[in-house]
Amino acid sequence: MHAYTVANTYIFTPIEDVVALKQELLKAMHQHHILGTFILAEEGMNAGFAGTAENVQAMYDYLHADARFRDLTFKESITDEMPFEKAKVKLRNEIVTMGVPNTTALDTRDTHLSPEAWNALLEDPEVILVDTRNHYEVAIGRFENATDPKTDTFKDFPDYVEKNLLDKKDKKIAMYCTGGIRCEKSTAHLKQLGFKHVYQLDGGILTYLEQIPEEKSKWDGQCFVFDERIAI
């Protein structure tokens, strides 16, 4: 039985040649025996893929050789079974679909909080803590006192904001998601709407669970992941 490294990454960076890059990425995935999915849009890239440790490292090296992806970091986990069936590269209008035109997360760095700073923020009773994931993800695990928007897809999130948060633009809003990408978009959306104090968990739940010891953790339950493992 093989051990496979599962890698997840995303980046918001301008990509003009998405059609050409799709073909290059597929070629690299086949060359390095990588299975999984890359999503490309003019705003950036979102990916989840797996292979042996050696092959995954080769894919890292390939990506880092592109100046646009030089700063990519990867969240890794190990599994005994390959969680993907094919090598796929998809072209989309957004790398995570929220459906609000002209909302880009190219620069939301000032909203990021480390897991330690996140824990400190959650001690503030005035903070409104919002889970940006879908209801079936929230059902198996969440941060203490987090609000569940009860969305079916991320495209439902702007409607939740409109109905529940627009009168709270002066409040501290803290948002989190699995790996960080939905938080980037939701944070950018709230900032465009005029929210003054918006924060997101840097690296998402996955980074939090890696860095915060259990005795200090404010997380309750499991974390849903979008591959055949379902939860970790």
- What architecture (CATH level 2) is domain 4-91? 2-Layer Sandwich (3.30)
pLDDT digits (tens, 9 = 90+) for 1-11: 579 999 999 99
| Residue labelled with tokens 């849903």 | 224
Residue 222 is predicted with a pLDDT of 75
Compute the radius of gyration of the chain from its Cα atoms: 18
Q: What is the mean pLDDT of the chain?
A: 91
pLDDT digits (tens, 9 = 90+) for 99-111: 888 777 656 667 9
- The Cα-based distances of 60 to 51, 70, 74 in angstroms read 11, 10, 9
For residue 221, give the 3-state DSSP assignment. strand
Name the catalytic one among 161, 177, 188, 198: 177
- Which tops the pLDDT comparison, 222 or 70? 70
CA distance 158 to 189: 8
Average pLDDT over residues 154-158: 96
Contacts of 114 (CB under 8 A, 6+ apart): 202, 211
Domain boundaries, the chain: 4-91, 109-221
Query: What confidence tier does 229 reach under pLDDT thresholds 50, 70, 90?
Result: very low
pLDDT digits (tens, 9 = 90+) for 191-200: 999 999 999 9
- What architecture (CATH level 2) is domain 109-221? 3-Layer(aba) Sandwich (3.40)
Average pLDDT over residues 139-152: 93
Residue 223 annotated among the catalytic residues of the structure: no
CA distance 95 to 199: 21
202 pLDDT higher than 60: yes
Query: What confidence tier does 125 reach under pLDDT thresholds 50, 70, 90?
Result: very high
Q: At 155, list the tokens.
A: 């495209």
Max Cα separation, the chain?
55
